């Protein structure tokens, strides 16, 4: 997939590098020469250009990308970049906002999704603290999520059915076993050393320690 990242501050640079690591063809764009040169070795292509200038974006063939991300937090620059991308008929556009007002404007301009990294990250971290026994957590709503849990040593060689009798209302989604993911494992599946369980449940229930675990 061809992805253009417009704006190479800390967020945009990290995003561009992460997308490249995932195997996407990344075009990173910024007016700051030092930002572009620093990132250039780590992405497919990095160019110095003004993201508020539609002719500059047209010259970089932005109309041909599959996805564009407006990663600058500057209100005026992001609004102009969004308008340029829409004029170039880029259908899939994501954007970063720095305030509620900024977020509303970008949505009105047609952004598929608008994120606010500091706020969204803080809210996710609050959920992680709530579900302290999870090694990772994904909130699905304000009070319901999915967590990945290391298993207590006493569960090794027990069956999934045995485990499910001891985890309350948690729903098992998968077992992560090394690089393998067992989706909806059968009740007779035997737990192995190093397994991690993926459960979904209300946060309060996910936050309860698993058998043999204690809150830290």
Question: Range of 84's domain?
Answer: 2-115
Contacts of 133 (CB under 8 A, 6+ apart): 147, 149, 207, 208, 209, 210, 213, 215
- Do 34 and 90 sit in the same domain of this protein? yes
Question: Could you tell me which of 179, 177, 205, 173 has the C-alpha nearest to residue 192?
Answer: 177
Cβ-count burial of 200 within 10 angstroms (0-12 exposed, 13-18 middle, 19+ buried)? middle
Give per-residue pLDDT as tens, 174-210.
999 999 999 999 999 999 999 999 999 998 888 888 8
- Do 19 and 49 sit in the same domain of this protein? yes
- Do 10 and 110 sit in the same domain of this protein? yes
- Do 18 and 95 sit in the same domain of this protein? yes
Which among 99, 115, 131 is the end of a domain?
A: 115
Give per-residue pLDDT as tens, 8-64.
999 999 999 999 999 999 999 999 999 999 999 999 999 999 999 999 999 999 999
Which among 76, 97, 115 is the end of a domain?
A: 115
The model's pTM: 0.71
43 lies in some domain: yes
Determine the distance from the C-alpha atom of residue 23 to the mean position of all C-alpha atoms in its chain, rounded to a whole number.
Answer: 16
**Cβ proximity of 58 and 48 under 8 Å:** no
**Cβ proximity of 29 and 47 under 8 Å:** yes
Contacts of 31 (CB under 8 A, 6+ apart): 48, 49, 50, 51
CA distance 216 to 213: 9
């Amino acid at each position: 997939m061809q992805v253009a990242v417009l704006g190479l501050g800390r967020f945009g640079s990290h995003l561009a590098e992460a997308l490249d690591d995932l195997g996407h063809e990344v075009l990173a764009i910024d007016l700051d020469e030092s930002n572009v040169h620093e990132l250039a070795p780590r992405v497919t292509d990095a160019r110095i250009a003004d993201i508020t200038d539609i002719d500059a974006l047209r010259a970089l063939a932005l109309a041909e990308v599959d996805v564009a991300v407006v990663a600058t937090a500057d209100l005026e620059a992001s609004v102009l970049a969004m308008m340029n991308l829409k004029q170039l008929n880029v259908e899939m556009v994501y954007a970063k906002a720095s305030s509620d007002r900024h977020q509303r404007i970008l949505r009105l301009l047609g952004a598929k999704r608008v994120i606010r990294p500091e706020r969204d990250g803080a809210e996710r971290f609050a959920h992680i603290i709530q579900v302290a026994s999870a090694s990772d957590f994904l909130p699905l709503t304000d009070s319901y999520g999915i967590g990945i849990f290391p298993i207590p040593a006493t569960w090794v060689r027990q069956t999934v059915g045995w485990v499910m009798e001891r985890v309350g209302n948690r729903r098992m989604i998968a077992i992560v076993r090394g690089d393998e993911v067992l989706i909806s494992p059968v009740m007779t599946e035997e737990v192995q050393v190093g397994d991690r369980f993926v459960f979904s449940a209300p946060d309060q229930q996910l936050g309860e320690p698993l058998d043999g675990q204690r809150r830290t």
